[in-house]
Amino acid sequence: MSVPCLGIDGYPKGWVAARWMDDELTWKTCGVHDIDRLLTEGIVGIDMPIGLKESGWRECDDLARAELGSARSRVFMTPPRAVLELGLAAPNEQVQETSRRLTGQGTSRQAMGLAERILALDAALTVTSATVIEVHPEVSFAELTGRPLTSKKSARGVAERLLALDTALPHAREALAQAPPDVPVDDALDALVALWSARRWRDGAARTLPPDAQEPPFIAV
């Protein structure tokens, strides 16, 4: 029996996972605070920061942005734990003051919008027996195709991602047709390429940002 691999991405109702086991690709979903239900086995690649700093920025985010060049804005900088713990509901003035004190710069509302998910994953990682690695779909697709792709919000960008997955992940197109009906296409595609990176990690073919990193934070490509 092969080692199961999962690729997980966030979607509006929580998390969506593409699961590969014994040459079969299936889907699972769960709520934001139920992420532990997906982290139960095998190798998991998830599009969410793993490894929070107490101060300063994460090197892996800078390196991921560099990999994407002109599309670097698709990677957000992960603020320190104390900033995330303030949450999206905190006054923006307080968030920005705390961020400047700990990093020298302010932080984005995009990052704060993900704070609840980041912290839910951080808590779940303390009890899981699965191997969980951080991935970034835009960087994974760039690795797969040799270049950053068109925006995933465009028809062309969706087509580029489908074509890339056709050769990299058998049954991906058929599986996409069976995805849960409430999952947007871009989130399903991101889960599939996260699965591709998880399989590369399982097979010893993945690289890391920073290179040869052994402990989080790092991004697996």
Gap between the Cα atoms of 48 and 190, Å rounded: 12
Total tally of structural domains belonging to the chain = 1
Gap between the Cα atoms of 193 and 7, Å rounded: 7
Is residue 136 within 8 A of residue 64, CB to CB? The reply is: yes
Residue 75 has a pLDDT of 97
What stretches of the chain show up as alpha helix (H) in DSSP? 59-68, 81-86, 92-103, 109-113, 115-124, 137-145, 155-168, 172-177, 185-202
Specify the pTM: 0.97
**Residue 58 within a domain:** no
Residue 170 has a pLDDT of 87
Is residue 123 within 8 A of residue 107, CB to CB? The reply is: no
**Residue 141 within a domain:** yes
**Residue 75 within a domain:** no
**Residue 121 within a domain:** no
C-alpha angle 14-107-90 in degrees, rounded to nearest 5: 65
**Residue 26 within a domain:** yes
Reduced to 3 states, what is the DSSP secondary structure of residue 202?
helix
CATH, residue 167:
3.30.420
Residue 1 has a pLDDT of 56
Q: Which residues of the chain have pLDDT under 70?
A: 1
Positive or negative, the Cα torsion across 158, 163, 169, 172?
A: positive
**Residue 105 within a domain:** no
Contacts of the segment 100-108: beta carbons below 8 A, 24+ positions apart: 102/54, 102/55, 102/56, 103/55, 103/56, 103/57, 103/79, 105/57, 107/77, 107/79, 107/83, 108/76, 108/77
Gap between the Cα atoms of 144 and 210, Å rounded: 18
Residue 16 has a pLDDT of 98
Range of the domain at 203: 5-50+128-220
**Residue 179 within a domain:** yes
To the nearest 10°, report the CA torsion of 81, 83, 45, 186. Answer: 180
**Residue 93 within a domain:** no
Reduced to 3 states, what is the DSSP secondary structure of residue 167?
helix
Half-sphere exposure of 180 (CA within 13 A, CB side): 18
Residue 2 has a pLDDT of 83
Gap between the Cα atoms of 201 and 208, Å rounded: 10
